[in-house]
Each structure stands twice: as C-alpha cells, then as structure tokens.
Amino acid sequence: MKGMVFTELVEFIENTFGYEAADAMIEKSILSTDGIFTQAGNYPFSDLLAMVITLSQELNVPVETLIEAYGRHLFKRIVALYPPITYGFDSPLKFIAQVDTFIHPEVLKLYPDADLPSFKLISLVENELIIDYISSKPLAPLAKGLALGCGDFFKQDLIATYEIIEETPKIRARFKITA
C-alpha cells in the first residue's frame, strides 16, 4: 500500500488520540519496518491491519470504527494533495459514482503501482447511490469513511450503509449512500 496511507494514519492518530496512542500503536505492533513510514514508500497491508488492531485493543474501540473515522479524515487529505480531482463535480454522489471510471484511473496515472479496489455502479437515482466495493482487502469501512468525507467536502450530510455480499475470491460490499 502507498506510504501516504500510513503517514496519514499516524498523523491522524496523533491528532485525534495523542502522541502516546500513536507511539503505542507502532511500538506494540509487529511490523515489517521499524515503524517509520514515508510518503514515497510502499508497505504491506498487514502493517496497517496490525497497527489498527493494536490501537483498537489499546483504546477499546472497534477496528471498523477506527478505520471509518480514518477514511473520513483521509478524504480531505488526499483531495488536498490532488485538488484538480474534484474540479467539475458539484455533488458527492456523482463523485463517488465515478471513483472507478475517473478518480482511481487518474490515481493510476500518478502511481501505476497503486493497488486499488474496484467499484461497480448499480444505480444512481436522485439522492440515492447503490454501488459495490470489490477488493482483495477488507477495507469496506475505509470506503465508507471516504464516502462520508466526500460528503463533508461537498458540504452534504450523507448516510452510508453497506452489507458484505461476497467474501471470496474478493470482498464485495454493497453500499447504499443517501444524500
């Protein structure tokens, strides 16, 4: 996974739960590195999972809750890195509906080695979007958080729910997102 996902996580945890929590998350996890992440690096997904599981135990907060909160924060950070990505969009639902056809393909131009999930648009009718998240990683809570963060960005309160409809060979989660 891209280093940015790790550097932003550490910063988010420092700012939300404090430096001690961030230190404990790194120190008490078995990682492939010494716990120093750089934006330019690439790190195994297992490192991310190990840190979030440690933090979940430290804070007694479910893993899904932490990942979702992180995703919500992450959206504004990635958009700040690539502001043009939102140009021309006036609605979060239309933006999310285009993650697979426009947003992530743009990301691949910048980072050909990015390991991205895919999304399949089921329907977008008025203020309701149904879209499937398909990934080799169990990161539906991250997708939910990113979707809510997208709502924040466009100043709309979205409601996002999902159910896992397939576990293998990939995770498939069906999202219902309402504006």
List interacting residues with ligand HEM (CB under 6 A): 1-2, 5, 78-79, 82, 85, 96, 99, 103-104, 107, 111, 114-117, 135, 137, 139, 142-143, 146-147, 150
CB of 111 to ligand HEM, least distance (A): 6
Q: 28 or 179, CB closer to ligand HEM?
A: 179
Nearer to ligand HEM, 36 or 81 (CB): 81
Contact present, 74 and 1 (Cβ < 8 Å): no
* Closest CB 6 distance from ligand HEM, rounded Å: 9
Shortest Å, Cβ 19 to ligand HEM:
25
3-class secondary structure for the chain?
A: CEHHHHHHHHHHHHHHHCHHHHHHHHHCCCCCCCCCCCCCCECCHHHHHHHHHHHHHHHCCCHHHHHHHHHHHHHHHHHHHCHHHHCCCCCHHHHHHCHHHHHHHHHHHHCCCCCCCEEEEEEEECCEEEEEEEECCCCHHHHHHHHHHHHHHCCCCCEEEEEEEECCCCEEEEEEEEC
* Alpha-carbon separation of residue 3 from 6, 127, 153 (angstroms): 5, 35, 23
| Cβ closest to ligand HEM, residue 28 vs residue 124 | 124
**Closest approach of ligand HEM to the CB of residue 3, in Å:** 8
> Whose Cβ is closer to ligand HEM: residue 8's or residue 55's?
8
Nearer to ligand HEM, 13 or 139 (CB): 139
Instruction: Please give the Cα distance from 76 to 153 (Å, whole number).
Output: 7
> 28 or 89, CB closer to ligand HEM?
89
Shortest CB 89 distance to ligand HEM, Å: 10
Least separation in angstroms between residue 15's CB and ligand HEM is: 20
